[in-house]
Homo-oligomer: A and B are copies of this chain.
């Protein structure tokens, strides 16, 4: 009975002679024939992407790979400085910043759009007008509840995130522009009517919309941001090996530490 236990997986198996990945022969059918982006898509979905889905997916990964000295890059560099024997630790430390604030917008936007689209039922034949109506309602509802629309606004690119129009164009070129991008674009058109000011659709948000329209699972969007970021973190660690800034950041913070005594308070008991 308990002998029948088994752990199902569709990813990898191997015997003495062969290694299978995703049900095909790794050596014969994968190596040299599938790009890394294709493989990442395949592993996540169990389907090979179309050429269009792949181009959009890889554009998304490129758009998320690195944003300079983000907190995650700083954390990775600090960790490498402190434990240079463990590159995995430095990358892991960098990825651990991939939460709500800096890397979560992609996921939040994709989930927000997916929920809205799912609620609509059949959207065949929707044109800009219909999407604008949906968007107006969403923005108004969010405003009424004091929620922000994910993917809207950017602290630096206030007049428009340069990635956004390019991602829309690529998705259109590749026939991957679906309901989620259409709705996101509509949010870009109509939100000012409701909110009273014009905000940019940011690149992390459009990345989320693209991933969903390109067929990636909504529950894993943060994972792709992390995959992209892993490549960026390797770039930061390569620099840290060549021309480190870790010691300078440490020195900067340590030397400018200022001791602050605890807030004067009466004993708590």
Contacts and interface: CB of A to CB of B under 8 A. Distances in A.
The residue in A79, A175, A215 that gathers the most chain B C-beta atoms within 10 A of its C-beta is A79
Nearest to A265: B47
A32 B40 CA distance: 17
Interface stretch (A114-122, A126-134, A181-189, A244-252): A244-252
A39 interface: yes
B68 A11 contact: yes
Contacts of A40: 36, 65, 231, 234
B257 A31 contact: no
A96 B86 contact: yes
Contacts of A57: 36
A138 interface: no
B223 A166 contact: no
A92 interface: yes
B84 A44 contact: no
A87 B220 contact: yes
A139 interface: no
A24 to B, nearest CB: 11
A166 B217 contact: no
A140 interface: no
A49 B239 CA distance: 18
Given A39-B62, A256-B6, A258-B6, A14 B99 contact: no
A180 interface: no
A156 to B, nearest CB: 6
A26 interface: yes
Given A39-B231, A243-B268, 7 more contacts: A31-B167, A36-B58, A36-B228, A81-B101, A85-B99, A88-B96, A217-B238
**A-B interface, 7 closest residue pairs, ranked by CB to CB distance from nearest:** A83-B99, A43-B235, A82-B97, A46-B262, A12-B68, A89-B96, A92-B92
Interface of A: 2-3, 5-23, 25-28, 30-32, 34-37, 39-40, 43-47, 50, 52-53, 55, 57-59, 61-63, 65-72, 74-75, 78-79, 81-93, 95-104, 156-159, 162-163, 165-167, 170, 173, 175, 203, 215, 217, 219-220, 222-224, 226-228, 230-232, 234-239, 241-243, 245-246, 248-250, 252-254, 256-265, 267-269
